Structure 1
Amino acid sequence: MPIDGNPIAYAIFAHCFTCTKNLSAIGNISNALTKHRIAVLRFDFTGLGDSEGNFTDTNFSSNVSDLISAADYIVKNYTAPQILIGHSLGAAAALLAAGKIPSLKAVVTIGAPFEPSHIMKLIKDDVKKIEETGKATVSIGGRPFEIKKQFLDDLLENKEEDKITRLKTSLLILHSPQDKIVNINNAAKIYKAAGHPKSFIT
């Protein structure tokens, strides 16, 4: 929230897969926006960071639901959010949630995959075990997480292209050419699928 408590707009920030709202990059971006009088709601998806719930029972669809709930919270306690920002899988969730948050004027993606299932590459060595046994403990960023088969199934069921095509907000796509986790070709596909107004910065 700006120091004077009078923002010109409200934004929601969705963090990346297995990250939290306290990631330094998220804090830096949020602080910069606040200096420009844009209030930013940072929150942890269910089962991560300071949130309640069990990460094992969550999936991509629950992340989308969390974003919609965050928007509802701002509507009830402040005023309708106008900006939705997402990083990596959080950006993919933002693209899907945007259609269900009518007050939005703009969506910003940072290193977003074109399809949520792209994230399966992070756990490619464990996918077979998860499919055969129903779950497995995987290492992501040096930390252990239990992933269930329902998580993989949900990733595969959610398709982005149609939602991106029907996006009614302005879209800003930010993607580093050096991104080794989500190739920049994903950003090009998002840009191609989206209608105007849109911008692509690398």
Structure 2
Amino acid sequence: MSHIPFTFRGSEEGELVGRIELPAVPPRAWAVFAHCFACGGESLAAVWISRALADHGIGVLRYDFAGIGRSGGTVFAGVTADVRDLAAAVAAMNDAGMPVSLLIGHSLGGIAAVETAVASEGIRAVVTIGTPSSADHLAGIGTRHDRFEAGGVVTVGGRSIEVAPGFVDDLALHPLAPSLSTSRVPILILHAPTDEVVGIEHASRIYAAARHPKSFVCLSGADHLLTRREDASYAASVISAWVAPYVAGSLDADPGKTDQYPRSADALTD
């Protein structure tokens, strides 16, 4: 198993930066991982799950959302911007010869994953991990916002985070039920009953709103950020087994050697 850097243009002018975790054998599918709010593509959950999935033969792009880590653009612009950027990530992977068939979203990233899966061709399955049933749950757990000021502050887990103008208002635009009620993309819902940030009731709402095929698996003993490696490894093993029938045959050609893939989406135009 190895990884390569991968950069692509997001919905804004800034360049988004990530890494692709490559299987040691020809991949059976390609995926994109959308990280949790304020986490980044180098978060423990993003790294551990992506690498574990690579061990199971699934190549995964994990990247920093706009303004986070090494990525350019406006930080915390809103879920709408995250959805656009995730769609751009899928398009860049497809153009680079790594057709994406699976989207995985952690926490707020799960909302972006579901909405992107509904609107994107070629996505055969989507996975949510500790995802709220509506993005405005983030505002409810601690937000100070004054519309006469430039932006606002969201407090999560005791950490205060300054967000861009319109971020808090944008959260209300992303309940999952409407997308789930029309989607025919198979969905796997992973959630811990001990999650103190996004309660287990959110998983119940997502499951109720989703159409079949749908599955729910409990991440017993895990916390919201999946800070224990064994929890991330278990999640990856479940995802790998569950997704198998949906991504079978998603690669039309032998993917060849991993060192043949471009190190950047920009290399396609060189």
Whole-angstrom distance in 2 between the partners of 1:51 and 1:104: 24
Secondary structure at 2:66 match in 1: coil
For 1:200, the equivalent position in structure 2 comes to 216
Match of 1:14 in 2: 34
The match for 1:48 among 59, 63, 68 is 68
Corresponding residue number in structure 1 for 2:248: none
Aligned residue for 1:63?
82
- Aligned counterparts of 1:14 and 1:185: Cα–Cα separation in 2: 22
Match for 2:194 among 178, 186, 189?
Answer: 178
Spell out the pairing of 1:145-160 with structure 2 (5 A cutoff). 145-160=161-176
Q: For residue 151 of structure 2, what is the amino acid of its counterpart? A: K
Q: Which residue in the other structure is 2:131 paired with?
A: 112
Tell me the CA shift for residue 102 of structure 1: 1.3
User: 1:123-166 deviations in whole A, cap 9, x for unaligned?
Assistant: 33x13xx3343423555456553224411111112232110111
Q: Which runs of 5+ in 1 are unaligned?
A: none
How high is the TM-score relative to the length of structure 1?
0.91
Is contact 2:106-2:131 (8 Å) kept?
yes
Matched, 1:190 2:211: no
Residues 63-112 of structure 1, C-alpha deviations (whole Å, 9 max, x = no match): 00011000001110023211100000000111111112211111000001
Specify the SS of the correspondent of 2:140.
Answer: helix
**Structure 2 residue aligned with 1:30:** 50
Does residue 3 of structure 1 match 2:24?
A: yes
Identity of aligned residues (%): 38
Q: How many residues are treated as equivalent by the alignment? A: 197
1:163 is aligned to 2:179: yes
Q: 1:139 to 1:185 in 2, by over 3 A?
A: closer
Change (3 A) 1:166 1:137: closer
**Structure number having the greater helix percentage:** 1
| Worse-matched range after superposition: 143-152 or 44-53 | 143-152
Name stretches of at least 5 consecutive residues in structure 2 with no aligned partner: 1-21, 219-270
Separation in structure 1 between the aligned mates of residue 27 and residue 118 of structure 2, nearest angstrom: 24
**Secondary structure of 1:133's partner?**
coil
In the aligned structure 2, how far is the partner of 1:162 from the partner of 1:45?
24
TM-score by length of 2: 0.69
CA RMSD of aligned residues (A): 1.7
Contact 2:133 2:202 in 1 (8 A): yes
